[in-house]
Amino acid sequence: MDLTSINPVLLVASLMVAATPILLAAIGELVVERAGVLNLGVEGMMITGAVVGFAIGVNTGSPALGFVAAAAGGAALSLLFGLLTQYLLSNQVATGLALTLFGLGLSSLIGKPYEGIKSPTLQKLDLGPLGDLPIVGPILFGHDPMVYVSLLMVLGVWWGLKHTRAGLILRAVGENHDAAHALGYKVVRVRMAAIAFGGACAGLGGAYISLVRVPQWVEGLTAGAGWIALAIVVFASWRPWRALLGAYLFGGVTVLQLNLQAAGLAIPVEYLSMSPYVVTILVLVLISARGRHGAPGALGRLFHGTG
């Protein structure tokens, strides 16, 4: 085995790419959960976004249009979840699981004609001399636009939740929907907006896998990334910056184990492949053991307004 073949600078740069789909999906789900809704359909929305984005990307030749379509596709699927849970008051857990199964099936149906095709992909952003800086250049300034979009999204969500009135109302709705309703806020409307935002983010995350990371379409492409995103929201104690940390931690372990595989570490490949998931589970257990989680007070509870 040859550990010197692992270049730390490239490792960090590629972990950002590996973490971006999960980060996008997690930041969307974080907003949904802060509004008090538990949408377990992230995986289904991601893979729907992945296939829709890929199909549009291939047909138009524009990956940017692919991302827009992926966001729209993810949001459309999430609004189905919203309709069922917010207006028809179905159980959020069961509906979310059904949404994942539905998304997986729908994506393989749509994706059938696109198997084996290569898609146009995003070009790396050319930031001129910044990209030529040693170490910092390749890590910070050598990425495609979506990596920066995901980071801006974390910043925006953090700022929005903390400093805007809309964010305050969203948090209030997620904390105690009865009180928010009594004060005259439209609980269902706020939640539908959050759900749609979460769906759009999950769609973007999925499209990042099919258009940038892989970039082609195979059935079951997301391979559980949506579930990891859900775990990262808990890991993050529902805080945006910690979600970034969690996503990069997961991305880091993923990239590291790939590098270790390539370097020929004398551990069976299967163990290395499972390591990111094992690390996620361990971190979640450690966090839960601390007791205080900071989960939104109304998370997963049905709201039935009267009058």
Partner 1 sequence: MSETRATEPALLGLEGLTKAYPGVLANDDVSFAIRPGEIHALLGENGAGKSTLVKMIYGLVRPDRGRMTMRGAPFAPVSPAAARAEGVAMVFQHFSLFEALNVAENIALGMDQPPPPRELASRIREVSTAYGLPLDPDRRVGDLSAGERQRVEIIRCLLQDPKLLIMDEPTSVLTPQEVEILFRTLRKLAGEGTAILYISHKLEEIRALCEHATILRLGRVVDTCDPREKSARELAEMMVGEELHVPVREAGAPGEVALELCGLSMPPASEFGTPLRDISLTLRKGEVLGIGGVAGNGQDELLAALSGESLAPAGTIRLARRDISRLQPNQRRALGLLAAPEERLGHAAAPDMSLTENALLTGAVRERLTRRGFIDWAGARAFASRIIEAFDVRTPGPEVAARALSGGNLQKFVIGREVLQAPDVLVVNQPTWGVDASAAAAIRQALLDLAGRGAAVVAISQDLDELMEISDRFTALNEGRLAEPRPARGLNVEEIGLMMGGAHDLEASA
> Which positions lie near partner 1, rule CB under 8 A?
165, 168-169, 171-172, 175-176, 178-180, 182-185, 291-292, 294, 296-297, 306-307
Report phi then psi at 299, rounded to 5: -55, 120
Closest approach of partner 1 to the CB of residue 184, in Å: 3
Total number of residues shown for the chain: 307
* CB of 290 vs partner 1, minimal distance in Å: 12
> Closest approach of Cβ 31 to partner 1, in Å?
16
Nearer residue to partner 1 within complex by CB, 148 or 185:
185
H-state helical runs in the chain: 8-34, 42-60, 63-82, 92-111, 136-140, 145-163, 165-175, 177-182, 187-208, 225-235, 240-263, 269-289
Q: List Cα–Cα distances, 10 to 106, 132, 250, 262, 263, in angstroms.
A: 36, 14, 16, 14, 14
**Which residue lies nearer to partner 1 by CB, 129 or 184?**
184
Tokens of 290: 């601390």
Residue 72 Cβ vs partner 1, minimum distance, rounded to whole Å: 32
As measured in angstroms, the least distance from the Cβ of 97 to partner 1 is: 23
- Report the amino acid identity of residue 94: A
Residue 118 or 162 with smaller CB distance to partner 1? 162
Which lies closer to partner 1 via its Cβ, residue 123 or residue 306?
306
In this structure, what are the phi and psi dihedrals at residue 216, rounded to the nearest 5 degrees? -160, 175
Which C-beta is closer to partner 1: that of 203 or that of 296? 296
Compare residues 241 and 271 and give the one whose CB is closer to partner 1: 241
Shortest distance, position 239 Cβ to partner 1, whole Å: 12
Burial annotation 147-172 (CB, 10 A radius, 16+ → b, else e): bbebbebbeebbebbeeeeebebbbb
Q: For residues 270 and 292, which CB has a smaller minimum distance to partner 1 in the complex?
A: 292
Cβ atoms of 32 and 18 closer than 8 Å: no
* Least distance CB 154 / partner 1 (angstroms): 21
Instruction: Give me Rg for the CA atoms of the chain.
Output: 20
Coil, strand or helix: which one is 99? helix
